[in-house]
């Protein structure tokens, strides 16, 4: 991947860091995002030393804050005039209901809205690539969601559940993938969604209640390594075999069917409109 620039959100930990190391080994210039400067610096040093590639740097962003996303987008636009691969990998799992600084439920606000905004803001630089690829980390967890209630994004009427909300955010990652793929068809940019597998990371230990943490820790020995979890993202970012393939859901480097409602074009369009409404800006 010599000469290619790859931006990976949440590249300081877990699957994102493993993806960054693998793509750095393939010769790409890597820009990771992180919400903490010390974590970013440590990850950049590790990615450089493990891959032997010095072209690794970072941009700070808290994806739960639209102000932070806008600042990071400006930085990325200057730093990377051409973005060949964007991997929207960052994600959080949160057991208890939280609203972000913009007043939006945290998992939806971070996992979907943060990436929706970032991607749209840096789209000109992605278009500059000519043949760019966008990869959105979703999850098999999307399958528990079968509908979206646009009038109750913050769970003011319906009961909140950590898993329910996580599943909704990962369902939205697929709808966003499909709508963006359609909108970018004419630009030669492909957009795909990934389920990485059940991967041994700390995602369900950071903001989870004790029984979720316990369950996650008990299940960890059965999960795959971050290197294996990164394989589908790496395949989509670098393989010539997937050139021109867009709008699909992938696991184990193969195309799979996501659930039926996540394939609904009307729902995907409505999510796009709701996301624009929540941000207060139109895109594309």
Ligand X SMILES: NC(=O)c1ccc[n+]([C@@H]2O[C@H](COP(=O)([O-])OP(=O)(O)OC[C@H]3O[C@@H](n4cnc5c(N)ncnc54)[C@H](OP(=O)(O)O)[C@@H]3O)[C@@H](O)[C@H]2O)c1
User: Among residues 91, 176, 238, 271, which is the contact residue for ligand X, using CB under 6 A?
Assistant: 91
Whole-Å CA distances, 160 to 97, 102, 155, 207? 6, 18, 6, 15
256 within 8 A of 195, measured Cβ to Cβ: yes
Angle between helix 37-51 and helix 14-25 axes, rounded to 10 deg: 40
Catalytic residue status for 166: yes
Q: Which of 58, 93, 155, 166 is catalytic?
A: 166
Instruction: Give 12 or 262: the residue with its C-beta nearer to ligand X.
Output: 12
x/- map, 205-244, ligand X, by CB under 6 A? -x--------------------------------------
CA 191-105-100 angle, to 5 degrees, is: 100
User: Among residues 95, 107, 110, 262, which is the contact residue for ligand X, using CB under 6 A?
Assistant: 110
x/- map, 239-268, ligand X, by CB under 6 A? ------------------------------
**Window of 61-69, 146-154, 238-246, 269-277 that interacts with ligand X by CB under 6 A:** 61-69
**Window of 125-133, 182-190, 194-202, 242-250 that interacts with ligand X by CB under 6 A:** 194-202
Does the footprint of ligand X cover residue 39 (CB under 6 A)? yes
Alpha-carbon distance 8 to 21, whole Å?
A: 11
**List of E strands, the chain:** 5-8, 29-34, 56-60, 85-88, 133-137, 190-195, 249-251, 254-256
Does the footprint of ligand X cover residue 63 (CB under 6 A)? yes
Query: What's the closest the beta carbon of residue 2 comes to ligand X, in angstroms?
Result: 26
Residue-level length of the chain: 284
Whole-Å CA distances, 29 to 47, 194, 237? 11, 22, 13
Half-sphere exposure of residue 94: CA atoms within 13 angstroms, side-chain side: 19
User: Among residues 86, 137, 242, 279, which is the contact residue for ligand X, using CB under 6 A?
Assistant: 137
Instruction: Give 50 or 82: the residue with its C-beta nearer to ligand X.
Output: 50
Does the footprint of ligand X cover residue 12 (CB under 6 A)? yes
Does the footprint of ligand X cover residue 24 (CB under 6 A)? no
Does the footprint of ligand X cover residue 92 (CB under 6 A)? yes
- State the virtual CA torsion across 49, 55, 61, 63 in degrees, nearest 10: -90
Q: Determine the distance from the C-alpha atom of residue 278 to the mean position of all C-alpha atoms in its chain, rounded to a whole number.
A: 19
Rule CB under 6 A: which residues touch ligand X?
A: 10, 12-16, 34-36, 39, 61-64, 89-92, 110, 137, 139, 195-196, 198-199, 201-203, 206
Which of the residues are catalytic?
166
């Amino acid at each position: 991947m010599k000469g290619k620039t790859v931006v990976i959100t949440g590249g300081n930990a877990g699957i994102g860091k493993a993806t960054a190391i693998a793509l750095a080994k393939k010769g790409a210039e890597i820009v990771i995002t992180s919400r903490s400067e010390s974590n970013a610096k440590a990850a950049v040093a590790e990615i450089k030393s493990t891959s032997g590639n010095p072209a690794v740097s970072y941009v700070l962003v808290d994806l739960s804050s639209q102000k932070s996303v806008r600042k990071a987008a400006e930085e990325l636009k200057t730093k990377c005039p051409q973005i060949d691969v964007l991997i929207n990998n960052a994600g959080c799992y949160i057991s208890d209901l939280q609203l972000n600084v913009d007043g939006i439920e945290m998992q939806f606000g971070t996992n979907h809205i943060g990436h929706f905004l970032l991607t749209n803001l840096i789209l000109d630089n992605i278009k500059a690539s000519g043949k760019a690829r966008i990869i959105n980390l979703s999850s098999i967890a999307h399958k528990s969601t079968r509908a979206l209630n646009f009038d109750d994004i913050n769970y003011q009427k319906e009961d909140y559940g950590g898993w329910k909300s996580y599943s909704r955010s990962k369902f939205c990652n697929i709808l966003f993938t499909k709508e963006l793929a359609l909108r970018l068809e004419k630009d030669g940019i492909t957009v795909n969604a990934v389920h990485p597998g059940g991967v041994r990371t700390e995602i369900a230990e950071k903001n989870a209640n004790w029984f979720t943490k316990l369950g996650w820790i008990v299940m960890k020995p059965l999960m795959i390594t971050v290197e294996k979890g990164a394989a589908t993202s790496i395949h989509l970012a670098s393989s010539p075999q997937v050139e021109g393939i867009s709008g699909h859901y992938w696991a184990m480097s193969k195309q799979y069917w996501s659930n039926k409602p996540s394939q609904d074009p009307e729902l995907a369009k409505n999510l796009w409109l709701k996301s624009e409404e929540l941000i207060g800006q139109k895109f594309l």
